[in-house]
Amino acid sequence: MATLSKTKAWISAMRLRTLPLSLSGVIVGAGMAAKVGQFDAYIFALIVFATLGLQILSNLANDYGDGVRGTDNETRIGPNRALQTGDISPKLMLKGIMVCGSITAVSILALIYLACYPEYFKLSILYIFLGIAALVAAIEYTMGPNPYGYKAFGDVMVFIFFGVVSVMGSYVLFVKSLSVDLLAPAIVIGFLSVSVLNLNNIRDMESDRLSRKRTIALVLGFRGAKRYHSLLGLGALKAVIFFLLSFESHWPYVINLLTFFPLILHYTAVWRFETPEKFDPQLKIVALCTFALAISMSLTAIYFH
């Protein structure tokens, strides 16, 4: 029974509900690669494995960082964290972070070897540095002496790694070159991913204020953070439309805009929310809608190019 309880604690700490969002950019990048006939199932499988590893690593590090700093306390509204409840000790969580980080690092190296080495040696070196940067970014969001998540840089980093790096980085692993066609989908996934973080930060404003965790939501204030949220949604919608302009068929417009419609309802509803508790269920809605939109954008790129 104790082992089962500990297993549940680790599964909870991994925050499985965040995983679809982390794969959204990868799916779009793979779809755009398939559009030009350069998809490889083995490379895709390793990209997915490495991406999931990075997301789980980030979740465990976030649990540890916020836990030891006291950010996760009784004022927090969202789901309980493993350190917060005492289900996992700080020492054991550190071991889990090391194991997850090691496995993820190996998967990144395997991915680089399969996709780039030795024919694209210079590209493999670039991806080694990019992989190191991704590992560091996953850990130092709330861990370390100067966590960037406590200095209002979380939104920028999420846009870079969930949007730009995820979409463009995965595409290059297949195609070995960049395309301007990737810019709009990268912006879409980037803005929607930042929206999820912003919802999280609006929900946690009170506990973040008490623990001196500086986020964009705290800097802007409650009303300002909601306006910022609307701008993220508007930017994502404009980028979706820009992405669709390259299609001659009308079906990509219908499919992708229908997928985006629940997000329009979400961004409209956020203006009516006046209490932090109402923001928590919206995280799952935006994350799953982003995942669905990523699949939609990928499929339309493949079948309507």
Query: ∠ CA 104-110-113 to the nearest 5 degrees?
Result: 145
In tens, the pLDDT along 139-159 reads 999 898 889 999 999 999 999
In tens, the pLDDT along 95-146 reads 999 999 999 999 999 999 999 999 999 999 999 999 999 999 999 998 988 8
Q: Dihedral (C-alpha) 162, 258, 262, 183: value to the nearest 10 degrees?
A: 20
Predicted local confidence at residue 155, as pLDDT? 96
Quote the mean pLDDT of the chain: 92
Residues 223-242 have a mean pLDDT of 96
Which spans in the chain are helix H? 2-14, 19-35, 41-69, 82-85, 90-115, 121-139, 154-158, 170-175, 183-203, 205-210, 216-244, 251-270, 280-303
Tokens of 37: 């006939």
As a whole number of Å, the CA-based R_g of the chain is 19
Predicted local confidence at residue 282, as pLDDT? 92
* Environment class of 164 (CB within 10 Å of its CB; exposed 0-12, middle 13-18, buried 19+): middle
> Is the Cα dihedral 144, 218, 195, 168 positive or negative?
negative
Name which of 166, 168, 181 is nearest 246 in CA terms: 181
Name which of 238, 236, 223 is nearest 270 in CA terms: 223
Q: How much of the chain exceeds pLDDT 70, in percent?
A: 97
How far apart are the C-alpha atoms of 92 and 138, rounded to whole Å? 18
Name which of 281, 187, 303, 282 is nearest 237 in CA terms: 187
Query: What residue ranges do the domains of the chain occupy?
Result: 22-303
Predicted local confidence at residue 75, as pLDDT? 65
Residues 47-59 have a mean pLDDT of 97
Can you name the residues that pair with 214 across neighbouring β-strands? 151
How far apart are the C-alpha atoms of 263 and 268, rounded to whole Å? 9
How far apart are the C-alpha atoms of 282 and 284, rounded to whole Å? 5
In tens, the pLDDT along 56-75 reads 999 999 999 888 877 766 66
Tokens of 276: 């932090």
pLDDT band at 2 (very low <50, low <70, confident <90, very high): very low
Residues 243-262 have a mean pLDDT of 91
Contact (Cβ atoms closer than 8 angstroms) between residue 267 and residue 233: yes
**4 pLDDT more than 60:** no
Phi, psi of 151 (to 5 degrees): -125, 25
**7 pLDDT more than 80:** yes
> Is the Cα dihedral 75, 8, 157, 244 positive or negative?
negative
How far apart are the C-alpha atoms of 200 and 221, rounded to whole Å? 14
Predicted local confidence at residue 94, as pLDDT? 95
* Environment class of 74 (CB within 10 Å of its CB; exposed 0-12, middle 13-18, buried 19+): exposed
